Structure 1
């Protein structure tokens, strides 16, 4: 009896051990392993991959609200309908995008109001234009055209007579959108950015001979700031200035005996920028593109210095510009009247002449080159603002389309990167920026189609900001160099001491179970 009780107690103890081992194994496999895997996996918030992939296929439609206003006695007899009426004309544009871009002109034909008739009765075209400007729709991207009768006293001062059909108006407005047919300088304009830094630099390589002074602060406030105030819709601008002594161009000019002057040929101009740029020291510390405008006063041994174009003719402004970089103007100093003149010579820079050149170069950098007009056309100068309203519209259109294309490229690259490398963390704030960028692009497209240029541009800027925040978020690099094999190498030494006893107990249970099956059954 005692032996049987001992055997039963021993069997019960073994059964208890097997249940304990199985319980530990079940807890480790069913609870511990999933919990460990879940807590150590790379967190990846959901992203709108489908919407990102569809950004490149969204149709661009640039709507232009146009009002054609007829003065009394100017209504043509071949109008299809009585005034007022609406008409729509669409024109497909050729641009470097993966999707179709169409320009939609929504034209309203109507008669003049009493106040507009009074404005058209002004003595000069300038007075009429100023009075009508106050009565027009001030929204960006819209246009109002006034048609006057042939007997109007303004006609000799205005443009040539044209037929006011939908096709003729579309042809007249075809340059108001980025149509891909711009000149080479416009195609190489500055890329769209949220901000730009403008640096005016005075280079005086020979301070022992020339004591140069320039009133750059007053010149910026008077000539540059009005332009930047109007461009503030496009981007933020910051302006600074500096004077660099003993800074040379890095290219030795050629002496011309006939003119007793030094010449810089067109093929040597590209070699001028790199040595000078090394002295500027502004682009390396800037978050935004830097526009450099350099005024170079040649040293006495190389004066006077003139720039030649590709044909060998002297450049009237004695300046040149480099697309997406800035411009350089050579400012020659008159030689002293007598050889005994004391040095250094005092030089006061004519800032009016200098700023005329720099502002023209600034327009070229933004792709605002003037097209040649027929002699019978008159184009009002933009004044101190340096930028006409229609040019600002064109610039906003171009930057809006470019912003949308940039966001599409950025998000597509980010999605491909995250899909290719699975251990990159995608935090919720990164995903939120991606969703915000996609929504802003879709909003910008809708505002463009509705003819709301300013709202479309603002939405495109928000899309660029959000996409760049997502793409350059530092959290994306946290686990980039921490692959799965390293994760197992770290955690296996922690789990192995616990796993070995459990595995040995399970192996023992399996052996005992097999052994019991092989033993013959005893029959009493």
Structure 2
């Protein structure tokens, strides 16, 4: 018979067959408190945490006119046109005859023109004799066609003035067409001369249009392979357009002489008038310097004396290393605009004359940098010693200034024709206006694509302001082109290009371009992981318990 202790053990075994003691059931109030605590945590996260996180990490994106930006980049809004107004002066001819000649010539011009965006328009001069056909305030580029009858002229001839945008046509009175004739050899001659005058401009504009994919279907003049190569070489040689250029004129000599030069007088005489003419396109600042004991670069070989030519020869392969960039004080850029360097190098007396091998030239142009001229000064022997003046005078610098003037025009991208300098400058004005419009439009398109692609990038209000100004000035530039006011078109397109570049390279945007989403995950996980995991596990446990009951 079992004892008392054995009976108690048997009763416990029957009550808990598993052999473990289970905890008493949890009170309902405790369950409700625990679930309320978990719910309160989720409420704080949802009602306070997420809004605070969204507010503090939200990226401001100004609303850009993306559709309009894409349309400008695709060439849907503005297709540049260049209406050139040509004023016809014929004070010694009857007005009716001049009007008929203009109509006939205009008909020939329209038939000959292959470039619809570039067209010449003749108009009889209505100004009193001796007054300007187009006032300076209008900023309207034009050409003057001056008809000059002369009895002894056997056939028509044309003379394009070098320093005026004027084409003078000489002909006899018998060659003047009657008002009833429908054709005229004189009108044909004038039309061919005008077309020839602007042929280089049409070629350059056609090449510019051909480089724009948005304008590939636009009618333009056919360009030969030779012309395309010439344009490419000119573009590679010239500086990119800038509102301001800095010109540096430097004198270098390997000895102590010459130690000075009359550069201020030379610049005022030869360079300043040219810069005044070019001021309608860009501004220019000028400075000068003198460097004594300036040795040539060690990377080039010493010039060799040629007995037959009686000169020291500088090899062609040494021209690229002639500038001693390590020791000569030539700054690549001063101020906001690019620097154009003009170097005068005066060899020592015992190594003159110094010329370039083959061509015998003493100057050369360095693309997108400047110009170098070797100035071989006169020297004489006195008492067995060679001597020369310590100063370069105005006559000594005359040839150098002429060379630098020509090289400056090449470095600025002026076409080589026509012969008239004002017409070449007006051509460059139109080309720059069109290229800046294309550049600003392309930059707007790139910014729009960047905005669409990177949704996490910030768009500050400064970008919106610059984009708005760009669109405003692009529209004004296009309208000014249509009206033939090319200087104003250049001003607006220059501002548009500046504002577009400013918007695209906004500092607050550039920094976030290189911050991908993976970096954000790497930042948030160490912070949110220790908090989120316990909260999620507790929530899952409570949901299971609630389902089980």
Interval of TM-score (by shorter of Structure 1 and Structure 2): 0.7 to 0.9
Structure 1 residues 514 and 51, CA gap change in structure 2 (3 angstroms): same
- Between 1:20-29 and 1:241-250, the stretch displaced more is 20-29
> For residues 543 and 241 of structure 2, what CA distance do their matches in structure 1 show?
71
> Could you say which residue in structure 2 is the equivalent of 1:125?
none
Query: Which TM-score applies when normalising by structure 1?
Result: 0.76
**DSSP-derived class of the 1:255 partner:** strand
- Between 1:492-501 and 1:246-255, the stretch displaced more is 492-501
**DSSP-derived class of the 1:248 partner:** coil
Structure 1 residues 305 and 286, CA gap change in structure 2 (3 angstroms): same
Aligned equivalent of 2:484, options 448, 451, 470 = 451
> Could you say which residue in structure 1 is the equivalent of 2:305?
255
1:278 to partner: Cα distance = 6.1
Contact 1:424 1:478 in 2 (8 A): no
> Could you say which residue in structure 1 is the equivalent of 2:199?
174
1:323 to partner: Cα distance = 2.8
> Could you say which residue in structure 1 is the equivalent of 2:211?
none
Contact 2:379 2:388 in 1 (8 A): no
1:513 to partner: Cα distance = 1.2
Aligned equivalent of 1:164, options 187, 194, 203 = 187
Tell whether 2:131 aligns with 1:73.
Answer: no
- Between 1:54-63 and 1:356-365, the stretch displaced more is 54-63
1:297 to partner: Cα distance = 0.3
Contact 1:74 1:149 in 2 (8 A): no
Structure 1 residues 249 and 422, CA gap change in structure 2 (3 angstroms): farther
Computing the radius of gyration over CA atoms, which structure comes out larger, 1 or 2? 2
> For residues 148 and 74 of structure 1, what CA distance do their matches in structure 2 show?
13
Structure 1 residues 478 and 156, CA gap change in structure 2 (3 angstroms): closer
Tell whether 2:73 aligns with 1:40.
Answer: no
Structure 1 residues 82 and 413, CA gap change in structure 2 (3 angstroms): closer
> Could you say which residue in structure 2 is the equivalent of 1:472?
505
> For residues 186 and 76 of structure 1, what CA distance do their matches in structure 2 show?
45
Contact 1:333 1:347 in 2 (8 A): no
Aligned equivalent of 1:489, options 503, 522, 525 = 522
Tell whether 2:208 aligns with 1:191.
Answer: no
> For residues 307 and 201 of structure 2, what CA distance do their matches in structure 1 show?
49
Structure 1 residues 500 and 372, CA gap change in structure 2 (3 angstroms): closer
Aligned equivalent of 1:105, options 72, 95, 120 = 120
> For residues 339 and 402 of structure 1, what CA distance do their matches in structure 2 show?
62
> Could you say which residue in structure 2 is the equivalent of 1:364?
410
Q: State the Cα RMSD in Å.
A: 3.8
**DSSP-derived class of the 1:288 partner:** coil
Contact 2:89 2:125 in 1 (8 A): yes
Contact 2:262 2:391 in 1 (8 A): no
1:407 to partner: Cα distance = 2.1
- Between 1:73-82 and 1:241-250, the stretch displaced more is 73-82
Contact 2:146 2:169 in 1 (8 A): no
Contact 2:125 2:133 in 1 (8 A): no
> For residues 433 and 203 of structure 1, what CA distance do their matches in structure 2 show?
45
Contact 2:418 2:424 in 1 (8 A): no
> For residues 248 and 269 of structure 2, what CA distance do their matches in structure 1 show?
16
**DSSP-derived class of the 2:328 partner:** helix
Structure 1 residues 413 and 434, CA gap change in structure 2 (3 angstroms): same
1:264 to partner: Cα distance = 2.6
> Could you say which residue in structure 2 is the equivalent of 1:216?
263
Contact 2:364 2:371 in 1 (8 A): yes
Query: Which TM-score applies when normalising by structure 2?
Result: 0.73
> For residues 156 and 344 of structure 1, what CA distance do their matches in structure 2 show?
49
- Between 1:54-63 and 1:9-18, the stretch displaced more is 9-18
Gap regions ≥5 residues in structure 2: 1-23, 160-167, 172-184, 208-226
1:367 to partner: Cα distance = 3.0
1:284 to partner: Cα distance = 5.0
